[in-house]
Amino acid sequence: MRKSQLTSSAQISILTVDDDPIITTTIKAYFGRSGYDVDIENNPVAAIERVRNGKYDILLLDFLMSPICGDQVVEEIRKFNTDIFIILLTGHKSMAPPVKTIRHLDIQGYYEKDDRFDQLELLVESCVKSIKQLRTIRSYQEDMSRAYMQTIEILRYVVETRDSETRGHSERVSKIAEEIAKEMGLSEKDVTNIKTAGLFHDIGKVGVPDSILLKEGPLTDEEFRQIQKHPAEGEKILSTYSPFRELLPIVRGHHEKLNGRGYPDGLMGDEICIGARVIAVADAFDAMVSNRTYRKGLSIEKTVEEIEKGKGTQFDPAVADVLLAMIERAGKEEFHKAYCSQAEGTEESK
C-alpha cells in the first residue's frame, strides 16, 4: 500500500468478514500496516451484530458465505445502519450480485479476489475520501447546530429575564410535562420532544413589547391579540432548525383548547397533538401557582380545582387526570416543593 495512505487511514475502522479465516487474516495484515483499525469476523450472522454494536466506517464483506450470503448480511445491516461503506468481495466476477441489487442495498463496490489487493486498495481509498468529506460536513453542521442552540437559549433567557415573575417558568413546565408524559406511557421519543418543547414553548414572546408583557392592568383586545401571536412566532423561530421539526406542532398548539376556543388555530380535540395537550396542562398549572403582576399565585388546592373545572373544555381529561393523580400521590406539599418551589411568592399549600 502507498505511504500516502498512512495519513488518510487515520481513525478509519474496517470490519472484514469472510468465512475463510485466511482471507480475513491477510486483509487485516495488509490494511493494518497502513494504519487502519481492522477487525475480523468469520461468521456472517455475528458480523451483523458487530456492526450494530460497533463503530465501523467500512465493511469488507465476502459475497458467498455460509450460513447466509453477503447480500443478506447487507440487507439486515441497512435496516439500522445506512452510513457504513460496504465493499463486496467475490471469488469471480460472474458470482457478483446483479447491479440492481448493488444499487438497492447501497453497496459502494465489489472486488474480485486475487493475489494482490491493488483494486481493493483503490476502492477503500475512494471510501476514505467520501468518509472524510462527510465528517467535515457533519462537523460543520454540528458547529452550526451548537451556534443555533446557543442563540435559541439566549432568546429564551431574554424572554424570561424580561419579567422576573416568569423566570424559571419554562424549566418548570418542561419538568412537569415530562413527568406527565412518562406517567401516560408515551414513547421515549415523545417524552423527549415534550420535555424540549416545554423549554421553548414561550420563545415567541421575544417579539411581544414590554409594554404588553409587563403590563400590570388588564390587557386591551388589541394587546391580547399581540400576546396570542406568540405560539405561531415561536413556531417560526424554531422552524429554522431542522432537528426541532417535531416540536413545531407542540409549540404552536400549546394554547389550543379542547373545545376549539384556544389559539392560534382554534383546533378541537384530537386535532391538537398530544404533546401540545400535555404542555397546555403543565403550562396552565405553573401559571396558576405563580405570581403575576395582576394577581397572587393560587394555592395548590385552588389550582387543582381549576384544573378539574377545565377538563373536557380547556384541557384533555386524560392528561389532566394524570397530573391530578401525580399531585394526590405525592401529596400537595411535596408536589409543591418538587415542582413549584421556584415560583416564589405563591400561596402555601393548606
Nearest CA among 221, 237, 236, 282 for reference residue 255: 282
Q: If 0-12 CB within 10 Å is exposed, 13-18 middle and 19+ buried, where does residue 291 land? A: middle
Residues with Cβ within 8 Å of residue 208, at least 6 apart in sequence: 226, 227, 229, 230
- Give the separation between CA 122 and CA 115, rounded to whole angstroms: 15
Percent of the chain that is helix, strand, coil (3-state, to 5): 60, 10, 30
Nearest CA among 343, 287, 328, 331 for reference residue 310: 287
In terms of phi and psi (left: phi > 0; alpha: psi -120 to 50; beta: otherwise), the region of 106 is left
DSSP H or E run through 313:
none
**C-alpha separations of 173 from 118, 120, 290 in Å:** 61, 56, 12
Q: Out of 3, 205, 215, 337, pick the active-site residue.
A: 205
DSSP H or E run through 249:
helix 248-253
Question: What are the strands of the beta sheet with 13-17, ordered from one edge?
Answer: 37-41, 13-17, 58-62, 85-90, 109-112
> Residue 93 catalytic?
no
Catalytic residues: 205
